[in-house]
Structure 1
Amino acid sequence: MKKPAQHYAVIGAGMAGVACARTLVQAGHQVTLFEKSRGAGGRMATRDTEFGSFDHGTQYFTVRNPMFARALETVPGLCRPWSANAVRVLDPLGRVVAAPLPTRESHWVATPGMNALVKRWAEPLLAQGAVELQTRVVKIERDALNERRWQLHTEGADDSRHVHSGFDGVLLAMPSVQAHELLRNSKQAPALAERIAEVRVAPCWTLMVAFPQAMQPGLSALGPQWNAARSTHHRIAWLARESSKPQRGPIERWTVQASPAWSQEHLNDDAERVQSKLLKAFAEVTGIRAEPSYATVHRWHYAQTIQPLDQSHLWDPASRIGACGDWCMGHRVEDAFVSGLELALKVA
């Protein structure tokens, strides 16, 4: 028997949150999606610059889960395979000394940037006025007018404060640390908060560099022949030539992701110092010693799951509070999708 329509608050508009919200709407429920940033996407992020875009969060995704594969069929042509031509860096100084990584499955990217997929799936929610952007949820409590429901205290980008009420359930689609803090500070669902606290997630410093001088007549692409590398350099875990991805601009530019251990060690360092150190490591790995025309860094506090929950989602039927995210299952994009989908199916 179909459940009567209910109103759910979904907190977080990354892949997990949007997958959860759209599934609930498809099941006939009302959803209000809260996102602290200016748009949907989460770590499937794209930064636009005068030199072209950078996927400074998620670099690519795989398609192993049949439910995720079917969902991608709803946006034909939006996602394209990326021939990453990836190698593994094994030299202590970071130089490539190994054969290309074995290609067991396709690397996929959304076009024209990684954020395009989540944004496309969020469009119907935005059109319905069901998304509250630049809105941070700071407290969950029982509804003042109906103790069986929930209300949320929020803060806007302009320091405005509001109370949103009348929710039959609250679903947290946010990094595990933030979900735990929100439940703990709200003094709600302690058993759920205790489970979330088991998860371990590592940070990541990301460097973005552009070399428009490589576009000069007669000058070939700078640096190595490969377009991506998994690195054992003590500072760098991954590098990718952004201009090698489908439907990206032609200007030579790279995204460089620091290793979890180095990122944790330098988490609170000054951004300028981090940039300098990562530029030096980038030159050691790629052999590119030219001065970039554009360089900047971004710090992700919660980037890669080290210890997942090992279940697809959390749901407390007594309080009607749940949680989802890639951290429930692993660190892949499709982990986030499946987590959000299965939480929605559980409560719908």
Structure 2
Amino acid sequence: MAKRPRSSTGPRKKPAQPTLVPQRIAIVGAGMAGITCARTLAQAGHDVTVFEKSAGASGRMASTDTAFGSFDTGAQYFTVRDPRFELALATAPNAARRWSANAVRILDEHGQVSSPSLPHPEPHWVGVPAMNRLVRDWAAPLQAQGRLLTQTRVSALQRDTLQPQRWQLHTAGDDGSSQVHAGFDAVLLALPAPQAAELLAAVPSAGALAEALQPVTIAPCWTLMLAFPQAVQPGLTTLGPQWNAARSTHHRIAWLARESSKPGRSQIERWTVQASDVWSSEHLDDSAERVQGKLHRAFVDITGIHAEPSHIALKRWKHAKTLKALGQTHLWDPANGIGLCGDWCLGHRVEDAFVSGLSLALSLS
């Protein structure tokens, strides 16, 4: 007679969960996409190192401090449409606030209001006290742990000399020093597509990734900054128009914003002016003096502010606004251990950069 199986009276064992194998990962670029990717991978238990050529994390959520107050030289605001982005913002509740902007106006070629506000307006958010606050808050734990290397430009990506299945990065510092960082299982490029393509061009096995970037088109942008401290006096708080932000169809200027109207900023009247992508492309290699003069004259035409600014400065972004996106959240080549992310994968919004960085991280973790 066959024996009956014994009944089990003890607790059933749970099936074994797969054990995460921590990887050593290099991320090039500390903008929204790079820091989102880095913090997600670090929280999952990976050993992450972020390389950034600038003095701090921000990417195109950059801000410049002056004696008259700060200027947001890159992204002017962001929207919150993706629920994952909304949850992430809750982790830094003091880093961003809504900006009413008196409703963003739309101006014609002559600076006249052609529409009172953007169609279907949605909340505009800005970092406080400057646009770079959100990315820098998220990057702070990485920096405290020595995982964020600033003023460190990655000049080359190669297979590791001692461990050919891994990667090494050649870097150059602002002081002229050079260094090799080796032993990475994966390298993730959170850079504008043209800069990523430059690094991949010297990697024979990355031809397919480089080819996938070719359709992506990103326009440059000249940004003008002006300050008018004479506006802060009894009986006078602002100069020029009553609106605080506008999109323009002027052939030189696409966007204007009164910086001092943004929450958490100083009261000194300041304006950020961003040139159109067509005009910026046509004048990309012009002298700063010529560009500044032309943009200032267009600013006067649009706003009617003829007062001489006490501060005027210029910044050139070679890769600013995505005109033709990749059409997918990220690129990841597991055989090579190379990935790419950035707003250009999906569009040109801050949210696009967040979703791209998060998606790439989740594909690894």
TM-score range, shorter chain: over 0.9
Q: How far is the alpha carbon of 1:278 from its aligned partner?
A: 0.4
Deviation track 1:67-122 (CA, whole Å, cap 9, x = no partner) reads 111000101122100001211002x3233243232453100001000000000000
**1:153-302 → structure 2 map (5 Å cutoff):** 153-302=170-319
Structure 1 counterpart of 2:321: 304
Equivalent residue for 2:335? 318
Tell me the residue number matched to 2:136.
119
Task: Give the unaligned 5+ runs of structure 2.
Answer: 1-17
Q: Which residue of 2 aligns with 1:15?
A: 32
Which SS does the other structure have where 1:122 is aligned?
helix
Asked if the contact 1:140–1:188 (Cα under 8 Å) also holds between the matched residues in 2, the reply is no
Aligned length, in residue pairs: 347
Please say if residues 176 and 196 of structure 1, whose CA atoms lie closer than 8 Å, have aligned partners that are also in contact: yes
Radius of gyration: which is bigger? 2
| Aligned with 1:70 (options 87, 92, 100) | 87
Letter in 2 for 1:142: R
Q: Distance in 1 between matches of 2:353 and 2:157?
A: 23
Superposed, 1:328-347 pairs within 5 Å as 328-347=345-364
Task: Name which of structure 1's ranges 97-106 and 280-289 shifts more when overlaid on structure 2.
Answer: 97-106
State the 4+ residue runs in structure 1 displaced beyond 4 angstroms: none
Report deviation, 1:216: 2.1
1:80 aligns with 2:100: no
1:187-222 superposed Cα distances (whole Å, 9 cap, x missing partner): 341100110122100000000000000012222410
Q: Which runs of 5+ in 1 are unaligned?
A: none
How far did 1:299 drift? 0.3
1:141 alignment counterpart: 158
Counterpart of 1:153 in 2: which secondary structure? Answer: strand
Q: Which residue pairs with 1:89 in the alignment?
A: 107
Alignment RMSD, CA only? 1.0
Equivalent position amino acid for 2:240 in 1: G
> Does structure 2 conserve the Cα–Cα contact (< 8 Å) formed by 1:141 and 1:188?
no
Q: Give TM-score scaled by structure 2 length.
A: 0.93
SS at match of 1:189: helix
How many percent of aligned residue pairs carry the same amino acid?
A: 63
Q: Structure 2 counterpart of 1:54, which letter? A: F
Q: Is contact 2:95–2:137 with CA below 8 Å preserved after alignment?
A: no
2: CA distance between counterparts of 1:182 and 1:310? 21
How far off its partner does 1:12 sit? 0.3
1:3 matched to 2:20: yes
* 1:158 positional shift: 1.1
**Alpha-carbon distance, 1:126 to partner:** 0.5
- The answer as to whether partners of 1:139 and 1:186 remain within 8 angstroms in 2 is no
Aligned-partner Cα distance in 2 for 1:288–1:253: 12
Secondary structure of the equivalent of 1:288? Answer: coil
Check whether the contact 1:95–1:286 (CA below 8 A) recurs between aligned residues: no
Alpha-carbon contact 1:61-1:332 (below 8 Å) kept = yes
Q: In the alignment, is the contact (CA less than 8 A) between 2:187 and 2:337 conserved in 1?
A: yes
Aligned equivalents of 2:232 and 2:101: distance in 1? 21
Q: Could you tell me the TM-score, scaled by structure 1's length?
A: 0.98
Residue identity opposite 2:84 in structure 1:
M
Q: Secondary structure at the match of 2:54?
A: coil
Deviation at residue 317 of structure 1 after TM alignment: 1.0
> Shift in Å at residue 232 of structure 1?
0.3
Q: Does 1:59 align with 2:76?
A: yes
Letter matched to residue 298 of structure 1 = K
SS at match of 1:285: helix
Is 1:24 paired with 2:17? no
Match of 1:49 in 2: 66
1-side partners of 2:59 and 2:142: how far apart? 16
Give the secondary-structure state (helix, strand or coil) at the position aligned to 1:322: strand
